[in-house]
Every structure is written in structure tokens, then in C-alpha cells.
Amino acid sequence: GAVVSQHPSWVICKSGTSVKIECRSLDFQATTMFWYRQFPKQSLMLMATSNEGSKATYEQGVEKDKFLINHASLTLSTLTVTSAHPEDSSFYICSARDSGRDIQYFGAGTRLSVL
């Protein structure tokens, strides 16, 4: 079946540094990709929707200057957490929609720990 690869799976960084998370669709083209955030024992909250070749659409309350999203190709979207702080520690999950089959697939997630 279709696979979405998310990397890294776990990252620890110092406060003030930036962290980049990659999301790749391995065997399909994804015009649209989604980035979610999940706090412990809570559900997934959509952060932003990215469309290939255009600016991402951010959900209310999500700082676009802090969470930079780039969707430069049909198989790759990146989320960069800039100047990370401990409160940014969370589980981030990406998702890619198979444009041809209109099905959404999920990555395995990235656990970010900011010290």
C-alpha cells in the first residue's frame, strides 16, 4: 500500500534552535499534505494544509512564522519549527493525500523534545 515516510522519528534539541521535519510520499503524488500536532492523550489537531507550489494555509492560532511549511514538490513537504521552545515539544504527524485515489495516508510521526 501507499507509504508516507516521515523523518526524523524523534528529535531532541536545545531551546532556540530550529528543527526541520520531512514528509515524503513514496509511491504516489501528493498535491496536498497536512501537518498535525498531538499532545499526550489528546487527538490530532490540524496545524496547516500545504499545497504543492503555493503557500500553506494555517489553522487559527498557529503561528506561520514559527512553523514554516514548504511543499516544493509533489512528493515532499517540510515543517520547520523555528526558535523552538519547550512548549513546542509535541508529537507531529504529517499526512499526504493521494491525488489520484483521493485517499489520505499518514506518516509515523515525529516526537520533538525541546530542552
Partner 1 sequence: KQEVTQIPAALSVPEGENLVLNCSFTDSAIYNLQWFRQDPGKGLTSLLLIQSSQREQTSGRLNASLDKSSGRSTLYIAASQPGDSATYLCAVRPVWGSARQLTFGSGTQLTVLP
Q: Please identify, using beta-carbon distances, which residue of 31 and 82 lies nearer to partner 1.
A: 31
CA distance 40 to 18: 22
Least Cβ distance, residue 107 to partner 1 (angstroms)? 6
Q: Which stretch binds partner 1 (CB under 8 A): 12-20, 66-74, 78-86, 104-112?
A: 104-112
The DSSP secondary structure of 76-110, one letter per residue, reads: EEEEEE-S--GGG-EEEEEEEEETTTTEEEE---E
| 34 in contact with partner 1 (CB under 8 A) | yes
Closest CA to 26 of 112, 110, 105, 111: 105
Would you tell me which residues interact with partner 1 (CB under 8 A)?
Answer: 6, 32, 34, 41-44, 46, 49, 51, 57, 91, 93, 95, 103-109, 111
